[in-house]
Amino acid sequence: MRPARRDKAAITAILERLPDFEGRPIEVSFLPFLHARRGKLNSGEDQPGQPVHAASFLRLRRIVLDHALRAAREELTRVVLHELFHFAWVRLGNPGRASYAALLRREIAAHAKGELGWSAESRKRGGPAAGKTTPASARVWREYVCESFCDTGAWLYGGMRRHDEFTLARRYRDRRAEWFTLHFGTRPIPI
């Protein structure tokens, strides 16, 4: 990661906790009061849209974090990891993404409740129907699978064992951890 000069201290402190990633540098910066609306990121008080902790710009290799995260190191680590896993998701390839989606389909068939972060939980509650084939439901499913992957990566590698957003049962957490171990092992995670 390549944080902006003024943000280097906030990011440097969490780098030791991150797993090994490999790939071109990703620029990281902070802005105050982040909101997402209609695919755009806005910064500042009284902005329209959904408040967010961060946003990733994959083609630009850039992550923008909300300024408030500087004061919460564990949450900053979790959010940075989540965003880095968006880059890993792209590099995972279709077979890896299909394998992770199959894992989630098995969880849904077993009526698994909960998730490992708000990003996935909010989409799961929106009704990811793995069996539907309409374009809208397919898009919701793909978003859910991606967000679940990123939240799971952040949970697994972030070192935080308890959080209000960690609501998935232990047996499903263990299966996801096994999946990550199988797909990434001990080698650096491509981003």
Tell me: pLDDT of 130 over 60. no
- Bigger pLDDT: 1 vs 44: 44
Structure tokens at 74: 């564990």
Q: Which residue did the predictor score with more confidence, 130 or 56?
A: 56
What is the widest separation between alpha-carbon atoms in the chain? 48
The model carries a pTM of 0.89
Is residue 149 within 8 Å of residue 116, measured between CB atoms? Answer: no
Of 80, 78, 93, 94, the C-alpha closest to 26 is: 80
Who's near 123: CB < 8 A, 6+ residues apart? Answer: 140, 143, 144, 147, 148
Element (H, E) at 94: helix 73-109
pLDDT at res. 150: 98
Q: Are strands 21-22 and 189-190 parallel, antiparallel or unpaired?
A: parallel
CA distance 162 to 164: 7
Nearest to 172 by CA among 114, 88, 101, 89: 114
pLDDT at 126 over 90: no
Across 116-138, average pLDDT: 74
Q: Tell me, what's the pLDDT at 45?
A: 86
The answer to whether the beta carbons of residues 110 and 175 sit under 8 Å apart is no
Please tell me the predicted confidence (pLDDT) of residue 4. 63
- Quick check: 68 pLDDT over 90? yes
| Average pLDDT of the residues in 118-133 | 74
The 8-class DSSP code of residue 184 comes to H
| pLDDT score of 164 | 95
Q: Could you state, in order of their start, the residue ranges of all structural domains in the chain?
A: 2-190
In tens, the pLDDT along 16-63 reads 768 899 999 999 999 999 999 888 899 988 888 889 999 999 999 999
Please tell me which residue, 134 or 178, carries the higher pLDDT value.
178
Q: Which helix (H) or strand (E) holds 64?
A: strand 62-66
